[in-house]
Amino acid sequence: MSDGRPALRFKTPVPLSELETFLDHTCSGKWNLKLEGIEEGLGQKVVVVSFNDANDLASFKAGYGALKKKFS
């Protein structure tokens, strides 16, 4: 997250494949998804998503809540 690109680090119950599909549909630019860890027992993954564009970050934030509800 230190390369100056907009990024988020968060825990998510969303499967990585679903998260990647969501990013493909939500972002107009390039993005990068990195798995940093898994919390056993909770089924949560710790991920970092970085974006080439701050507008993609804003779009991701606007739509992620609805995606997360499907898996909570």
Question: What sections of 1-72 are H helices per DSSP?
Answer: 16-26, 54-69
Please give the radius of gyration of the chain, using alpha carbons only, rounded to the nearest integer.
Answer: 12
Tell me if 39 is assigned to some domain.
Answer: yes
Tell me if 38 is assigned to some domain.
Answer: yes
Looking at residue 29, which CATH number applies to its domain?
3.30.70
Tell me if 1 is assigned to some domain.
Answer: no
Question: Residue 72's pLDDT band (boundaries 50, 70, 90)?
Answer: confident
Tell me if 2 is assigned to some domain.
Answer: no
pTM recorded for the entire structure? 0.89
Tell me if 33 is assigned to some domain.
Answer: yes
Backbone angles phi, psi at 66, to 5 degrees: -65, -40
Euclidean distance between CA atoms 4 and 19, whole angstroms: 22
Q: pLDDT, tens digit, for every residue of 14-55?
A: 999 999 999 999 999 999 999 999 988 778 999 999 999 999
User: What residue type is assigned to position 36 of the chain?
Assistant: E
Q: Which domain holds residue 17?
A: 7-69
Total domains, the chain: 1
